Structure 1
Amino acid sequence: MESLNQTLFLWLNAPEHPSAFALTLAIFFAEQLIWAVPLLIGIGWLRGSDATRKTMLIATASGLLGLLINQIIGLAWLHPRPFMIGLSHPLIPHVADSSFPSDHLTLWWALAFSLSLQRGQRIAGVALALLGVPVAWARIYLGVHFPFDMVGAIAVAALCAWLTLREARWYLEPSYQLATGIHRRFFGGLIALGWVRE
């Protein structure tokens, strides 16, 4: 399996002299697009209905659980990144830690899968899930992940999306009340102006 993983990596990894366009595009997908996650959650919370806010909380729980599971996997099994074994030179800076599963893609797909499982947000969830594909390509292209790291991210993200939705009755209402209280304290002025929902 590791041989296949490395073969696929070499097929998808950037050539020795990548074009400026491909490099710029890959860096955007690998490093910048991830900021769409907090932006989407923030907009959904500030402008959305109560149902949308609860959807965002479940999606957030899915992403956080995914990152926690990844940390546990990384502690239990240190899988080196391509540049750690001399298979490539990374085209973006990255710490030499465990590559499996990809944290970027786990967070991205956990949010996407969570939204796609919930009513009213399915189209957004599917769109986000599809956008995860170029993100996965970019992380491999730039030499910081293997293809199987992305397969692991899909598995962890799907599990977390399902689990956090299934068990929402245990945490959703208390976390919603807490988040609403914090929201009113921080955004009281904007709420009074009508710029942000109460």
Structure 2
Amino acid sequence: MRYVNYGLFEWMAGGFHPTPWLLAAACWIAVYGAWAAGLTVLYSGFRQPSQRLYLVLLLLLACITSVLSQAISSAVDMPRPFAIGMSPNYLQHGGRGAMPSTHMSVMSLVALGCLVRPGLHTAGAVLLALAFATAWGRIYAGAHFPADIAAGLLLGTVVLAVYTGLRSGVQWWMRRRYTAPDA
């Protein structure tokens, strides 16, 4: 599996001789893609006041996901591509563990959370596109392997699924506990 991951990285990354304009674009999106996603969430909240509470809950989940991703990353301690000499460190990124990608974990959680919510589908599609563009930029710039990105997507999806399941379970319990039984 490692060789597939390395092969995909070599195919997707800029490596030691990147195309200058492509490297500039990749570094820009790798750094500012998350900011664009944040502005998209803010814009969605201002345009749709009825969705604000849900978006705040998603942002709280994003904070939890970030902490969880960092903890998993520290425990797994997978090296980054530049740390093992497969690429220069174009982003001047620290050398801590790379798997899962915290950017992808958080951005995919928020994007998928919007995609499953009626009224936020467009924002979800924009956020998912930003998440994958940011992921590509971080691979091209040598900060992540494709498997780090896939693990981040998986983590974001699992956290959203757990939240959705818990929310449904609590709602079911509340209806059962606090509604009158059918006569």
Name the amino acid aligned to 2:147. Answer: F
**CA–CA distance in 1 between the matches of 2:52 and 2:146?**
34
- In the TM superposition, 1:31-42 aligns within 5 A as 31-42=31-42
8 Å CA contact 1:114, 1:162 repeated in 2: no
Shift of 1:17: 2.9
**CA–CA distance in 2 between the matches of 1:42 and 1:160?**
22
Q: Which residue of 2 aligns with 1:97?
A: 96
Q: Which residue of 2 aligns with 1:189?
A: none
Shift of 1:46: 4.6
8 Å CA contact 1:58, 1:164 repeated in 2: no
Distance 1:96 1:164, change over 3 A: same
TM-score by length of 1: 0.77
Shift of 1:47: 5.0
**CA–CA distance in 1 between the matches of 2:57 and 2:115?**
12
8 Å CA contact 1:58, 1:114 repeated in 2: no
Q: Which residue of 2 aligns with 1:30?
A: 30
- 1:178-198 Cα distance to aligned partner (Å, 9 max, x none): xxxxxxxxxxxxxxxxxxxxx
8 Å CA contact 2:74, 2:96 repeated in 1: no
- Does structure 1 residue 43 correspond to structure 2 residue 40? no
Shift of 1:163: 2.4
- In the TM superposition, 1:1-198 aligns within 5 A as 1-46=1-46, 48-49=48-49, 51-168=50-167
Q: Secondary structure at the match of 1:100?
A: coil
- Tell me whether 135-144 or 54-63 shows the greater mean CA deviation: 54-63
Aligned length: 170
Q: Secondary structure at the match of 1:167?
A: helix
Q: Secondary structure at the match of 2:16?
A: coil
Shift of 1:77: 1.2
Shift of 1:43: 3.4
- Where do 5+ consecutive residues of structure 1 fail to align? 172-198
Identity %: 26
**CA–CA distance in 1 between the matches of 2:36 and 2:169?**
28
**CA–CA distance in 1 between the matches of 2:84 and 2:166?**
40
Name the amino acid aligned to 1:149. Answer: D
- 1:10-60 Cα distance to aligned partner (Å, 9 max, x none): 1111043323320121012100121123323333445532x3112212221
